[in-house]
Amino acid sequence: MENKLTHFDKEGKAIMVDVSEKEDTSREATAKGKVIMKKETLNLIKNGEMGKGDVLGVARVAGIMAAKQTHNIIPMCHPLMITKSQVDFSIIEEENAIEVIGIVKTTGKTGVEMEALTAVSAAALTIYDMCKAVDKKMTICDVHLYKKTGGKSGNFIHEK
């Protein structure tokens, strides 16, 4: 039955899924999310990009490093050897938002969806942390898997 939650055994106990028999293949995942804020906050961040008060520079490092910690944050995630981790930002003026994009690659037995999502979440949280003194109402939303290639379940794309 296709609806089975794979992270549980037959008795309903949580397990880290056995991927021993899976082949090492090239896998990539892209996740996206948004941080919505006041226009003044967005302006402060945009000014910082010019070299002083570089919020996005710090958030990028946070996201890249968090991808490597995914298996210590998400209990049932397998450890894996990330071969690329990238975090980009794009300003969405009309929504007073910053889009966060995380791209992770590996060659291994499991995908890197959670690593990409974790990178996006950590970068977004870091933006919140660095701006919370001026804008406590910032909201993180639309964190989702945008694209995934490689692996047995095949390619996937989720346009919102």
- What distance in Å separates the CA atoms of residue 75 and residue 118, rounded to the nearest whole number? 13
How far is CA 86 from its chain centroid? 10
Nearest distance, CB of residue 51 and a copy of itself, angstroms: 4
List Cβ neighbours of 6 (8 Å cut-off, separation of 6 or more): 17
- What distance in Å separates the CA atoms of residue 58 and residue 31, rounded to the nearest whole number? 19
9 catalytic per annotation: no
Nearest distance, CB of residue 98 and a copy of itself, angstroms: 14
Q: CB-wise, 93 or 137, nearer to a copy of itself?
A: 137
Nearest distance, CB of residue 94 and a copy of itself, angstroms: 18
Q: CB-wise, 73 or 92, nearer to a copy of itself?
A: 73
- What distance in Å separates the CA atoms of residue 51 and residue 57, rounded to the nearest whole number? 9
Residues forming the active site: 129
